[in-house]
């Protein structure tokens, strides 16, 4: 069988909708999440991996993967792993299962900002996005853009939040700017400059972090509620209107959000600066509530 | 009567234990000790309890409960169980427990001795539950009961080396594989579900392995609109720069990046890297940047130009079977986006903005795509979203 990389459009490949018993020799326990690019499973690692963890998360991409795409994706994952950031989950290995690319990583048990395992306070959300911003900055300093920052990828760990699922679609599906409507509302976290064809950058990731924070603390997106059923209308709205910070947000949070959503040359320059401002704000709030 | 209980169960002769109760079928091998007897009673009590009250789909609760018992050593370490769920089966495998669809060569067993609990669709052919034999007994082979004989364990606990859960014979037609099973069970799903775990065809360690390329330069700071041009294919085009130096199609009235009127442009015709010309927005929301040429189709990788990197592959899946392997090409020429049908079997349809009539492209004849033009290929469709709004 010839293996190739390709953009995958339309219905999923004919592999059915059930939960597979395994991805390669990882025993699948359940589906943790799914999008247009693939699925994330909770799985038991094989003995050959020699991991003590009972469970790991396995992300498997849809569709076949060419050797060149595989090599680039592995190189990218190794570059991320080499950072050893406490705010990035560890990735154990990558491979091909049934011709599809997959990788295994830490399973973070407390959910994500999109679906936290318990209700998070506003201060906890600020800290979670601060940690995600720290992770993004570490990536940027290493010459890597995450390219998929959104609430679903900010995982809530027991000690800190982690930024997961770096956008490998750039290598597995060249040209892709949006992975599709299977991830609800994914478009609202994409800086319009990226929709226009710009490469993901520091400023587009600061923008995405702000969109993520806004969704988590305000409960609505910076463009209101974009329709998942009408992706073209959502894209047009984003390219023709300016994002709006919800008026009911506290002024201190609103000010930081606005500073991230300004035009690229006026917004907060680095994710590290955003992380610092969010941490300071969280500390100040802790002081107020503690006092 | 629930569908599960309409299925016949044939017991394979032997000394293990086979139990059937409403909605549940179990094969187990309790230890030959008092603890083993006690563990068997615990499981049988659990099955009996789950069957009480006429619960139609005991599989959900039973799977979780049984797992807990096994993990605490309160149930036999070797067992295979299937139980009805609303639309399929819950499976619990422990120790030597396995399920198989022999006619398809599928087998699912425990790996590393861990308890497996999962939900599956109905298999398309009889499902065997059994326990791997100890090495001393292997090779002796247990003869399968003759399928033509009307064996059927309806309810109870009996000795046996395995059990086959089959469908009842159809009253109206010649019995065939899968007869009587819910039509919604897709064969591919069961194929995937029962595929044995196999090591990856290729794998590479990530943790603790440095990348080959060494350190990279940090991402630039600050970022301006210039990076739009950098992300293009490297093709150079001639156009006008707006007041903020964004290169634009000479026909554009407004800058594609900052939106200011091109009347305020520098007025100097210059050459520069071509910025992306727009997006292809598919019906499922997936969007692709028009910064390179694409080949669309079912298997675009068969094209030499894809293999050599001159065209990007864009694989289209659909179930209608009308998409050709090489169906259509998106070609960027200067500031234009051209669509070409590659001689596809069923054609490429286009409709201009707001039009309700679709036109078929003439194979091999490029058509310049206009802003908001819709394209239909088989069951898939996409819209050309122009960034430059050239007339």
Q: Which residues, other chains included, contact A59 with Cβ-Cβ below 8 Å and sequence gap of 6+? A: A38, A39, A40, A41, A102, A103, A105, A165
Beta strand segments in A22-173, E: 22-23, 26-34, 38-44, 56-61, 91-97, 100-105, 154-156, 161-163
Least confident stretch, B15-24, B33-42, B66-75, B102-111: B102-111
Q: How far is CA B243 from the centre of its chain?
A: 49
B257 within domain boundaries: yes
Domain that holds residue B81: 4-165
Do the Cβ atoms of A70 and A61 come closer than 8 Å? no
Nearest-angstrom CA–CA distance, A195 and A83: 28
Backbone φ and ψ for B83, nearest 5 degrees, come out as -145, 150
B267 within domain boundaries: yes
Query: To the nearest whole percent, how much of chain B has pLDDT over 90?
Result: 25
Q: Which residue, among A10, A183, A230, would best test binding to B if mutated, counting the most B CBs under 10 Å from its CB?
A: A10
B373 vs B264, more confident? B373
B183 within domain boundaries: no
pLDDT band at B323 (very low <50, low <70, confident <90, very high): confident
* pLDDT, mean of each 10-residue run, chain A (291 residues): 31 47 87 79 89 89 78 94 94 91 92 89 95 97 93 92 88 62 68 84 95 95 81 82 93 96 89 97 78 39
Per-residue confidence (pLDDT) for residue A35, from 0 to 100: 67
Same domain membership, residue B329 and residue B255: no
pLDDT tens column, B82-126: 988 776 788 888 888 888 877 766 777 776 566 777 777 777 778
Nearest-angstrom CA–CA distance, B234 and B256: 18
Per-residue confidence (pLDDT) for residue B138, from 0 to 100: 46
Nearest-angstrom CA–CA distance, A58 and A183: 18
Q: Which residues, other chains included, contact B130 with Cβ-Cβ below 8 Å and sequence gap of 6+? A: B12, B27, B80, B97, B98, B100, B161, B162, B163
This model of the complex carries an ipTM of 0.86
Q: Which of A22, A78, A235 sits opposite B206 (nearest CB)?
A: A78
Same domain membership, residue B148 and residue B102: yes
Q: Which residue, among B184, B206, B260, would best test binding to A if mutated, counting the most A CBs under 10 Å from its CB?
A: B206
Same domain membership, residue B100 and residue B16: yes
Per-residue confidence (pLDDT) for residue B220, from 0 to 100: 85
Same domain membership, residue B122 and residue B36: yes
B286 within domain boundaries: no
Same domain membership, residue B199 and residue B105: no
Nearest-angstrom CA–CA distance, B113 and B125: 27
pLDDT tens column, B173-200: 332 323 333 333 333 344 444 555 788 8
Q: Residues of B with CB below 8 A from A70's CB?
A: 202
Q: Which of B199, B223, B289 sits opposite A175 (nearest CB)?
A: B289
Query: To the nearest whole percent, how much of chain B has pLDDT over 70?
Result: 77
For residues B1-5, average pLDDT:
67
CATH code of the domain containing B108: 3.60.40
Same domain membership, residue B202 and residue B158: no
Same domain membership, residue B161 and residue B36: yes
For residues B327-347, average pLDDT:
93
At CB < 8 A and 24+ separation, what contacts does B70-78 make? B70/B94, B70/B115, B71/B115, B73/B39, B74/B39, B74/B42, B75/B39, B75/B42, B75/B43, B75/B46, B76/B28, B76/B29, B76/B30, B76/B31, B76/B36, B76/B39, B76/B40, B76/B43, B77/B31, B78/B28, B78/B29, B78/B131
B158 within domain boundaries: yes
Q: Residues of A with CB below 8 A from B194's CB?
A: 21
Same domain membership, residue B136 and residue B9: yes
Distance from B372 to chain A by nearest Cα, in Å? 10
Is residue B272 helix, strand or coil?
A: strand
Q: Residues of B with CB below 8 A from A44's CB?
A: 111-112, 114
Beta pairing partners, A104: A58, A93
Counted domains in chain B: 3
Please tell me the pTM assigned to this model: 0.67
Nearest-angstrom CA–CA distance, B31 and B43: 13
Same domain membership, residue B322 and residue B214: no
Nearest-angstrom CA–CA distance, A144 and B218: 8
Nearest-angstrom CA–CA distance, B8 and A194: 59
Per-residue confidence (pLDDT) for residue A258, from 0 to 100: 96
A226 vs B78, more confident? B78
Q: Residues of A with CB below 8 A from B229's CB?
A: none
B116 within domain boundaries: yes
Same domain membership, residue B305 and residue B258: no
Beta strand B106-109 with B286-289 is unpaired
Do the Cβ atoms of A202 and B221 come closer than 8 Å? yes
Q: Which of B206, B276, B285 sits opposite A77 (nearest CB)?
A: B206
Per-residue confidence (pLDDT) for residue A106, from 0 to 100: 94
Beta sheet of B17-21, edge-to-edge order: B116-120, B89-94, B79-84, B24-28, B17-21, B156-159
Per-residue confidence (pLDDT) for residue A113, from 0 to 100: 94
Same domain membership, residue B300 and residue B255: no
CATH code of the domain containing B325: 2.60.200.20
B118 within domain boundaries: yes
Same domain membership, residue B14 and residue B153: yes
B326 within domain boundaries: yes
- DSSP structure string for A135-201: HHHHHHHTT------SGGGEEE-SSSEEE----THHHHSTTEEEE-TTSTTGGGGS-HHHHTTPPP-
pLDDT band at B340 (very low <50, low <70, confident <90, very high): very high
Q: Which residues, other chains included, contact B377 with Cβ-Cβ below 8 Å and sequence gap of 6+? A: B296, B316, B323, B327, B328, B344, B348, B349
A18: nearest CA partner in chain B: B189
- DSSP structure string for B71-127: HTT-S-SSEEEEEE-SSSEEEEEETTEEEEEGGGTEEEE-STT--EEEEEPPPSS-E
Nearest-angstrom CA–CA distance, B240 and B231: 19
Sign of CA dihedral B140, B146, B150, B154: positive
Angle between helices A251-261 and A202-218 (to 10 degrees): 150
Is residue B158 helix, strand or coil?
A: strand
Side-chain half-sphere CA neighbours of B45 within 13 A? 9
Q: Residues of A with CB below 8 A from B120's CB?
A: 18
Q: Which residue, among B219, B276, B280, B304, would best test binding to A if mutated, counting the most A CBs under 10 Å from its CB?
A: B219
């Amino acid at each position: 069988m010839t293996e190739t990389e390709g953009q995958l459009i339309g219905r999923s490949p004919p592999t059915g909708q059930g939960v597979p018993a395994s991805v390669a020799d990882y025993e699948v326990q359940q589906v943790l999440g799914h999008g247009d690019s693939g699925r994330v499973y909770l799985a038991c690692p094989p003995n050959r991996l020699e991991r003590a963890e009972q469970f790991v998360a396995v992300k498997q991409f849809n569709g076949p993967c060419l050797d060149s795409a595989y090599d680039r994706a592995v190189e990218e994952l190794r570059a991320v792993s080499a950072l050893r950031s406490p705010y990035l989950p560890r990735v154990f290995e990558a491979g091909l299962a049934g011709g599809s690319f997959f990788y295994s990583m830490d399973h973070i048990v407390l959910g994500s900002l999109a679906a936290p395992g318990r209700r998070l306070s506003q201060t906890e959300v600020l800290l979670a996005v601060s940690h995600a911003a720290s992770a993004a900055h570490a990536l940027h300093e290493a010459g890597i853009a995450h390219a998929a920052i959104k609430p679903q990828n900010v995982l809530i760990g027991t000690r800190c939040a982690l930024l997961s699922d770096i956008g490998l679609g750039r290598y597995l599906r060249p040209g892709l700017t949006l992975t599709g409507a299977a991830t609800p509302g994914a478009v609202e976290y994409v800086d319009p400059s990226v929709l226009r064809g710009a490469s993901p950058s520091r400023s587009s990731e600061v923008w995405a972090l702000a969109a993520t924070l806004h969704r988590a603390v305000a409960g609505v997106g910076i463009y209101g509620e974009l329709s998942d059923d009408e992706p073209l209308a959502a894209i047009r709205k984003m390219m023709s209107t300016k994002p709006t910070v919800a008026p009911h947000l506290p002024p201190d949070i609103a000010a930081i959000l606005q500073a991230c959503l300004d035009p690229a040359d006026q917004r907060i320059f680095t994710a590290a600066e955003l992380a610092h401002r969010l941490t300071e704000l969280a500390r100040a709030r802790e002081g107020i509530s503690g006092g | 009567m629930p569908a599960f209980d309409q299925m016949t169960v044939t017991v394979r002769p032997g000394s293990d234990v086979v139990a059937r109760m409403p909605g549940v079928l179990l094969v187990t091998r309790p230890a030959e000790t008092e603890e083993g007897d006690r563990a068997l009673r615990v499981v049988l009590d659990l099955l009996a309890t789950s069957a009480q009250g006429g619960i139609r789909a005991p599989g959900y609760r039973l799977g979780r409960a049984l797992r807990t018992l096994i993990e605490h050593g309160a149930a036999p370490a070797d067992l295979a169980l299937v139980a009805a769920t609303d639309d399929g089966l819950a499976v619990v495998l422990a120790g030597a427990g396995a399920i198989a669809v022999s006619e398809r060569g599928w087998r699912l067993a425990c790996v590393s001795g861990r308890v497996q609990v999962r939900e599956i669709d109905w298999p398309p052919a009889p499902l065997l539950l059994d326990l791997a034999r100890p090495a001393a007994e292997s090779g002796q082979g247990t003869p399968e009961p003759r399928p033509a004989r009307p064996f059927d364990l309806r309810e109870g606990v009996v000795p046996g080396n395995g059990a086959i859960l089959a469908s009842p014979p159809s009253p109206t037609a010649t019995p065939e594989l899968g007869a009587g099973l819910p039509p919604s069970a897709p064969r591919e799903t069961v194929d995937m579900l029962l595929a044995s775990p196999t090591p990856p065809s290729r794998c590479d360690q990530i943790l603790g392995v440095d990348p080959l390329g060494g350190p990279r330069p940090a991402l630039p700071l600050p970022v301006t609109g210039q990076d739009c041009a950098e992300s293009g294919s490297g093709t150079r085009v001639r156009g006008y720069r707006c007041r903020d130096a964004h290169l634009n199609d000479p026909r554009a009235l407004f800058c594609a990046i900052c939106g200011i009127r091109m009347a305020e442009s520098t007025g100097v015709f210059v050459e520069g890297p071509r910025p992306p010309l727009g997006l292809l927005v598919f019906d499922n929301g997936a969007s692709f940047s028009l910064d390179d040429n694409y080949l669309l189709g079912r298997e675009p990788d068969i094209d030499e130009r894809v293999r050599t990197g001159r065209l990007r592959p864009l694989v289209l899946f659909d179930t209608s079977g009308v998409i050709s392997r090489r169906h259509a090409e998106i070609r960027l020429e200067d500031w234009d986006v051209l669509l070409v049908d590659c001689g596809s079997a069923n054609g490429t349809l286009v409709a201009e903005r707001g039009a309700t009539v679709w036109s078929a492209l003439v194979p091999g004849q490029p058509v310049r795509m206009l802003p908001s033009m819709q394209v239909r290929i088989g069951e898939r469709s996409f819209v050309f979203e122009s960034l430059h709004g050239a007339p």
